[in-house]
Amino acid sequence: MAKYNKIQVLEAMMSTGIVPVFYNADLEVSKNVLKACYEGGIRAFEFANRGDFAHEVFGELVKYANSELPGMILGIGSVVDPGTASLYLQLGANFIVGPLFNPEIAPICNRRLVPYCPGCGSVSEVGQAQQAGCDVCKIFPGDVLGAKFVKGIKAPMPWTQMMVTGGVKPERENLEAWFKAGVSCVGMGSNLFPKDAIKAGDWARITKLCKEALDIVKEVR
């Protein structure tokens, strides 16, 4: 079961403004990355369902976070079907994220009051997701749709809360463009986790990147 309620999860996403997106098959590497992000000020973290036995790694990460990292909220990403959503909810996922909107996932999450953040690439998909009870829509792929897409949605639908993922970088110009367009938070993947840093076990570098990115978000909001 989820440790944090929907209000706590959404508050963590909105207040920090950044949700890291990460996957690694190695549990120890994943723990170190999670801790590095935590020390950098991150409080909502999306582990991606992108490899065999990813659910086993995730289950152990949840236990680790609940025991060692108070206030760190773990969710699962890359979820495209209700069966997978149910599996991760049982393992303690506090939020579910997908690259697409599957209306069959929404009632499963709603029943447990767990946020479902589906991937949306059109105004109609955003509207359908909201009708299904989704508080935050993931705008994906962000680098394809662009900041103007976000701004275009906010004009006729100003109540829309969006998290953009894809092409988001820990750089002032990039982050400023997204937040000025109207996003509530951003999902950030590979640009926050350089391959050479992961390979070298340079966790301090990841912590530094998180801190710098969060500082930029505070300034540009």
Q: What CATH topology corresponds to 6-216?
A: TIM Barrel (3.20.20)
Widest pairwise Cα distance in the chain: 47
Each domain of the chain, given as residue ranges in start order, spans: 6-216
pLDDT digits (tens, 9 = 90+) for 99-143: 999 999 999 999 999 999 999 999 999 999 999 999 999 999 999
pLDDT digits (tens, 9 = 90+) for 82-106: 999 999 999 999 999 999 999 999 9
Six-digit token pair at 185? 């938070």
Q: Are 18 and 171 in contact (CB under 8 A)?
A: no
